[in-house]
Chain A
Amino acid sequence: MNLSDQLTYWRYRLVPDHVLGELLAKRWIDNAIPLLILIVVAAIFGSLIPDFFGPANMTNLARQWGEFGLIVLGLMIVMVAGGIDLSVGSTFALGNIVALALLNVAGLSMPVVVIVTLGVGALVGMANGVLVGFLRLRAFLTTLVTLIIVRAIVDMLLLNYSVRIAAAFPDSDAWYFLGEGFLLGVPFSAALAGAVAIIAHLVLSRSRIGWHVLAIGGSRRSAHNVGIPVRRVICSTYVISGMLAALAGVLFASRLGGAGADTGIGLEIAALTAAVLGGNSLGGGRGSPAKAIIGSITVMMMVNSLLRLGVTSGANSLLLGILLLGAVAIDVRWLKNRHKVLSKVYVSPAFSSLPAAPGTDASSKYAINDRLGPVELIGLGRIDGPEDVILDEDDNIYTGNRTGDIVRFFAPDYSRQEVYAHVGGRPLGLAFDKDGSLLVCIGGMGLYRVTTEREIVKLTDETNRSWLSIIDDSRLRLADDLDVAPDGRIFFSEATVRYEMHEWPVDGLESRGNGRIVCYDPNRGTTRTILRNLKFPNGICMTHDGESFLFAETWGCTISRYWFDGPKKGTVEKVIPDLPGYPDNINRASDGTYWLALVGIRTPSLDLALKMPGFRRRMARRVAPDEWLYPNINTGCVVRFNEEGEILEVLWDRAGENHPMITSMREHKGHLYIGGILNNRIGKLKLEGADENWTGTSSYWSGS
């Protein structure tokens, strides 16, 4: 490596560029900006106000936040479903006066007061819900009208009851507990709001109705088209919002007990500011209780602190207004640009310097020939993308296709075929288990078993999550190839954890070690990642010693051997460090050696580009994917090698007529069967001098 390559190597080794994209891809990144604002606000006021973080002030803030937080949570739920509820302020006031009237004038007990008040809140919400949800009126105008109407009702109630309310001093500890009590050292209202937030989180993230709410907010029409009862769900969000606002009113009533005319005036603006500032989208579909909490704490803290700082009247409203404006602007810009930014920064190529590629001229061990020329074609035009092929003892061929089927071609002439099983996803690597069932790696799904009764069983679709990984790597995205150890453990490769199946070229562009090898142990039912940071690990093949396997790293152009048992357990050794092309599947040959498919051949221009990550990053951003420099997978070959890494034999299709790219090959009874993931045929090649009785299944399972 020359000096500039060295520099580039360290630059890309030390700076984890991919982290930024992974962070931006996180759903919770939406909360980052609001959280930052919250921290800034807390820092500013904490430094301006003495004892700001003292227990007394925190308790006060928490108690007031409890009430406000409930309102914002209610508003958040409505907003998530794509609506808006401006009547929360009035409903809050209504809750306050109703609760006080019931308690002080009607003399009801605390639980009854709370229940009835909640009922009143629900009624207001119901009115909104019916108008907006069922009669499809505009949410903004409708709730604006409700705001005025409810406010008028509050005024009327005030006229009639306020003096009587003011005259009475209820003597109920239970009642005062609501406004003044503590629950586990936390003010009751804050504890209640926290509980409501947790419930709301669980409902929104894990329940059917919650998903319905999110779906409606995302696209009302689509939600309707998939059969979600849009009107009913929208209506119920308003009911919940009304109830939460009334509940906040009850807490307020208990805390202050005052039936003032100014109660809840302007609260809807504060609540709306809080909700939007927290990152809940005005357009719906994006929002969470966490956002509502962050937003409400920020607004609460600001309003309260400005008051404490003795800022003059009006400044508070002005600030709220500016804040709302800013929050809306950020909301819109963020929504619009996040994906743009993400698509720009997610792809982050790494430095990758491959050893010099061996040549393919006549003197080379990889010398070009036309030995794949006389191949017989099976299923030409009747199979779409046979990535891997495998044969059973009766010579039938099994292979996966692009539409998620496992197709069986019947021996002896393979002119008949059937869908053996429809597994979905993208069936890739295949292997026969000891009991004759078919193990299959399905891209996008995981590791599956198809029993001899054609029953489809999921073996695993997740593994242990890496501690320091930002993206959630516990799900299997692209299980690629597998093999079975003598004790039944299944080792399979996952090509990349950063991209989906169809984005494999992008992973190639990155050429970082994004892949891994995972072990599924059926005896213990566990799935564990055993090797990480591999460059598109692909083919896996058990060696004959029963305690190691060979695996191919496609973008690394290497074959390595891993010992999972025995004295060398846990070690990895390179078997072939410098392939001239990109290795895919590895399978056993009849003479104890191994077959390797090269899906494509390295090109000097791409090898150079791999050493220039910045160049590839700019290419990914500025050039259309169809125009990117790709690994040349239009020409491939089959290689036979032994455990020492010696190349014994190479089979080429010089013209690329039938097998431009080869992803797998399987030796069976003296023939080689060849598959290609982008091909529409399976090749069958007579192998001169090969054991006519050898089969893969017997090689694996007859010995034991």
Chain B
Amino acid sequence: MRMFKTGMTLAALAVIGAGAAFAQGIDDPTREPYYSKLEGKKVAFVPVAMGFDLTEGWAAGMRQQLEPLGISFEVRDPSWNTDAGAQAITSLISEKPDVMVIHNPDVQSYARLLKKAEEAGIYVIQVNMNSAYSTDAYVGTDYVGLGEQMANRLIEECSPDNGGSGKVAVVQGVLTAAASAYQMQGINNVFAEHPEMQIVSNQAADWDGTKARNITATVIQQHPDLCGVVGFWDVMDLGTGAAIKESGKDIFLITSGGGNKTACDGLENGTYSEVVSYDVPGQARDIATMIEHLLQHGNEPGSVKSTLFSPLTFMTKDNIGPGSCWTLEGQN
């Protein structure tokens, strides 16, 4: 790490030196402050876990963008353990990185810690799953909006008015996760105005594909006329889709995710009917940009709060092409 840092410093110096060498040109006044302010900063990332498309994608994206600037980037992996995550954040607060990027497992657990982190002078960016406490920045999906749009898609596909049974099932993630809570809120917002739509099952699969598959299989047995399923995450909904495939029924499955290649594959092979992508590489860039921004403007952490909602892309089998989805390094 140190070698790398030194290397980066040398590179940066070289860049600056090169700039100085060509004295006859005009110096860009933004360059020097940009590099010097970012040089040597520390960023720590606490996901819910590593090892799946979203977090790996973000981490890769951030690393790619930040490290060349001389910013050190570190991941603390609590591996689906909230307490471990809390421990990681608590230790980070005492270690004082410049920016913490937090991926909340639920809206509550880290909220107070994040507040403390800001009080301790650390910028906090929350990624994709927000907590109940809003920090310097939130980069991620507008889950309420996502939920509303997905609900509308369900109505289009399944409303009795459109020839469906009106029966839909919801497969949530962890109930208290922002992605679940807000998305559910969005769905409820829409369905409140559509009494013809009936949610026959609303269960939590805790982001676990096997659980999702079991839940869906049971729901399909109980409600043979089920028309649509809304899943909250494509990776988990591989299980949902598998259950639907096994049942042999034509059930509309809409889910959302980071737009990884697996989503496109799933659409291709009919696992999903529709996937809403919030484009992880885009988010990664947003986070990195936000980090650069925070480090440069130098405001007191917690003083200015901003939100960057990710643009959503609705992907179906028909509208995807070879470039619609992204791949991780080493993924095929």
Q: Do A and B come from one complex?
A: yes
Q: A166-B176, A256-B82, A256-B83 are in contact. Are A313 and B77 (CB under 8 A)?
A: yes
CB neighbours (8 Å) of A255 from chain B are: 86
- Taking the complex as formed, is B111 at the interface, i.e. its CB lies under 8 A from any CB of chain A? yes
Cα of A159 to Cα of B206 in the assembled complex, Å:
11
CB neighbours (8 Å) of A314 from chain B are: 79
Which residues of B in the span 97-139 have a Cβ within 8 Å of any Cβ on A?
Answer: 105-113, 132
Partner of B109, one of A256, A310, A311: A256
Q: A308-B76, A310-B76 are in contact. Are A258 and B176 (CB under 8 A)?
A: yes
Partner of B94, one of A54, A260, A265: A54
CB neighbours (8 Å) of A56 from chain B are: 93-94
- Taking the complex as formed, is A363 at the interface, i.e. its CB lies under 8 A from any CB of chain B? no
Cα of A624 to Cα of B207 in the assembled complex, Å:
68
Cα of A169 to Cα of B131 in the assembled complex, Å:
12
Report the nearest A residue to B80, measured CB to CB: A262
CB neighbours (8 Å) of B175 from chain A are: 158-159, 162-163, 261
Nearest chain B CB to A63 CB, angstrom units: 8
Q: A51-B95, A54-B94, A255-B86 are in contact. Are A307 and B51 (CB under 8 A)?
A: no
- The 10 A-B pairs at the shortest CB distance, nearest first, are namely A258-B109, A56-B94, A313-B79, A258-B108, A256-B109, A260-B82, A162-B175, A162-B176, A166-B176, A166-B107
Cα of A632 to Cα of B84 in the assembled complex, Å:
70
Nearest chain A CB to B138 CB, angstrom units: 16
Cα of A163 to Cα of B173 in the assembled complex, Å:
12
Partner of A307, one of B80, B84, B106, B181: B84
CB 8 Å contact bits of A260-290 with B (1 = contact, 0 = none): 1111011000000000000000000000000
Whether the pair A261, B50 counts as a contact (CB closer than 8 A) is no
Q: A60-B91, A263-B82, A313-B77 are in contact. Are A258 and B203 (CB under 8 A)?
A: no
Cα of A316 to Cα of B181 in the assembled complex, Å:
30
Q: How many A-B residue pairs have CB under 8 A?
A: 116
Report the nearest A residue to B51, measured CB to CB: A313
Cα of A548 to Cα of B113 in the assembled complex, Å:
76
22 contacts between A and B (CB under 8 A): A51-B95, A56-B93, A63-B90, A158-B176, A159-B204, A162-B106, A163-B181, A165-B108, A166-B108, A167-B132, A169-B111, A169-B132, A256-B108, A256-B109, A257-B111, A261-B175, A261-B206, A262-B82, A307-B84, A307-B87, A313-B51, A313-B79
Nearest chain A CB to B88 CB, angstrom units: 5
CB neighbours (8 Å) of A303 from chain B are: 84
Whether the pair B105, A307 counts as a contact (CB closer than 8 A) is no
CB neighbours (8 Å) of B95 from chain A are: 51
Cα of A307 to Cα of B47 in the assembled complex, Å:
12
- Taking the complex as formed, is A582 at the interface, i.e. its CB lies under 8 A from any CB of chain B? no
Interface centre among A169, A258, A266 (most CB of B within 10 A): A258
Nearest chain B CB to A449 CB, angstrom units: 63
CB 8 Å contact bits of A614-627 with B (1 = contact, 0 = none): 00000000000000
Whether the pair B75, A260 counts as a contact (CB closer than 8 A) is no
- Taking the complex as formed, is A551 at the interface, i.e. its CB lies under 8 A from any CB of chain B? no
Whether the pair A258, B77 counts as a contact (CB closer than 8 A) is no
Partner of B50, one of A162, A312, A316: A312
CB neighbours (8 Å) of B254 from chain A are: none
List B residues at the A interface (Cβ < 8 Å).
49-51, 74-84, 86-88, 90-91, 93-95, 105-113, 132, 174-176, 181, 184, 203-204, 206
Known: A163-B184, A257-B109, A307-B78. 9 other contacts (CB 8 A): A51-B95, A56-B94, A158-B204, A163-B175, A176-B112, A256-B112, A256-B113, A263-B82, A307-B87
Interface centre among B74, B77, B83, B204 (most CB of A within 10 A): B83
CB neighbours (8 Å) of A180 from chain B are: 112
CB neighbours (8 Å) of B94 from chain A are: 51, 54, 56-57, 60
Cα of A56 to Cα of B95 in the assembled complex, Å:
9
Whether the pair B82, A60 counts as a contact (CB closer than 8 A) is no
- Taking the complex as formed, is A658 at the interface, i.e. its CB lies under 8 A from any CB of chain B? no
- Taking the complex as formed, is A8 at the interface, i.e. its CB lies under 8 A from any CB of chain B? no
Cα of A121 to Cα of B76 in the assembled complex, Å:
33
Cα of A169 to Cα of B108 in the assembled complex, Å:
9
Whether the pair B74, A310 counts as a contact (CB closer than 8 A) is yes
Report the nearest B residue to A63, measured CB to CB: B90
Cα of A310 to Cα of B77 in the assembled complex, Å:
6
Cα of A659 to Cα of B95 in the assembled complex, Å:
82
Whether the pair B80, A257 counts as a contact (CB closer than 8 A) is no
Which residues of A in the span 490-546 have a Cβ within 8 Å of any Cβ on B?
Answer: none
CB neighbours (8 Å) of A162 from chain B are: 106, 175-176
Q: A57-B94, A166-B108 are in contact. Are A312 and B83 (CB under 8 A)?
A: no
Report the nearest A residue to B44, measured CB to CB: A310
- Taking the complex as formed, is A442 at the interface, i.e. its CB lies under 8 A from any CB of chain B? no
Whether the pair A259, B77 counts as a contact (CB closer than 8 A) is no
CB neighbours (8 Å) of A257 from chain B are: 108-109, 111-112
- Taking the complex as formed, is A304 at the interface, i.e. its CB lies under 8 A from any CB of chain B? yes
- Taking the complex as formed, is A87 at the interface, i.e. its CB lies under 8 A from any CB of chain B? no
Interface secondary structure of A, over-half rule: helix
Cα of A159 to Cα of B174 in the assembled complex, Å:
9
CB 8 Å contact bits of A567-599 with B (1 = contact, 0 = none): 000000000000000000000000000000000
Nearest chain B CB to A320 CB, angstrom units: 12
Whether the pair A258, B79 counts as a contact (CB closer than 8 A) is no
Whether the pair A259, B108 counts as a contact (CB closer than 8 A) is yes
Report the nearest B residue to A300, measured CB to CB: B87
CB neighbours (8 Å) of A167 from chain B are: 132
Whether the pair B50, A313 counts as a contact (CB closer than 8 A) is yes
Q: A51-B95, A165-B108, A256-B109 are in contact. Are A308 and B88 (CB under 8 A)?
A: yes
Q: A163-B181, A166-B107, A260-B174 are in contact. Are A312 and B91 (CB under 8 A)?
A: no
Whether the pair B50, A259 counts as a contact (CB closer than 8 A) is no
CB neighbours (8 Å) of A12 from chain B are: none
Nearest chain B CB to A384 CB, angstrom units: 67
- Taking the complex as formed, is A252 at the interface, i.e. its CB lies under 8 A from any CB of chain B? yes
Partner of A308, one of B91, B113, B132, B184: B91
Which residues of A in the span 300-352 have a Cβ within 8 Å of any Cβ on B?
Answer: 303-304, 307-308, 310-314, 316
- Taking the complex as formed, is A117 at the interface, i.e. its CB lies under 8 A from any CB of chain B? no
Nearest chain B CB to A304 CB, angstrom units: 5
Whether the pair B91, A265 counts as a contact (CB closer than 8 A) is no
CB neighbours (8 Å) of A304 from chain B are: 87, 91
Cα of A5 to Cα of B97 in the assembled complex, Å:
68
Whether the pair A261, B74 counts as a contact (CB closer than 8 A) is no
Nearest chain A CB to B7 CB, angstrom units: 20
CB neighbours (8 Å) of A252 from chain B are: 83
Cα of A89 to Cα of B129 in the assembled complex, Å:
26
Cα of A259 to Cα of B174 in the assembled complex, Å:
10
Q: A166-B107, A166-B108, A256-B110 are in contact. Are A57 and B84 (CB under 8 A)?
A: no
Cα of A680 to Cα of B49 in the assembled complex, Å:
82
Partner of A262, one of B105, B110, B112, B181: B105
CB 8 Å contact bits of A233-244 with B (1 = contact, 0 = none): 000000000000
- Taking the complex as formed, is A663 at the interface, i.e. its CB lies under 8 A from any CB of chain B? no
Which residues of A in the span 44-76 have a Cβ within 8 Å of any Cβ on B?
Answer: 51, 54, 56-57, 60, 63-64
Cα of A60 to Cα of B117 in the assembled complex, Å:
14
Report the nearest B residue to A260, measured CB to CB: B82
Cα of A265 to Cα of B49 in the assembled complex, Å:
15
Interface centre among A169, A255, A260 (most CB of B within 10 A): A260
Q: A257-B108, A260-B82 are in contact. Are A159 and B203 (CB under 8 A)?
A: yes
Q: A54-B94, A165-B108 are in contact. Are A265 and B81 (CB under 8 A)?
A: yes
Partner of A310, one of B75, B105, B108, B203: B75
Report the nearest B residue to A258, measured CB to CB: B109
Interface centre among B82, B88, B90, B108 (most CB of A within 10 A): B108
Report the nearest A residue to B88, measured CB to CB: A307
Whether the pair B50, A258 counts as a contact (CB closer than 8 A) is no
Cα of A256 to Cα of B86 in the assembled complex, Å:
8
Q: A307-B84, A313-B50 are in contact. Are A261 and B108 (CB under 8 A)?
A: no
Whether the pair B78, A261 counts as a contact (CB closer than 8 A) is no
CB neighbours (8 Å) of B93 from chain A are: 56
Cα of A158 to Cα of B106 in the assembled complex, Å:
12
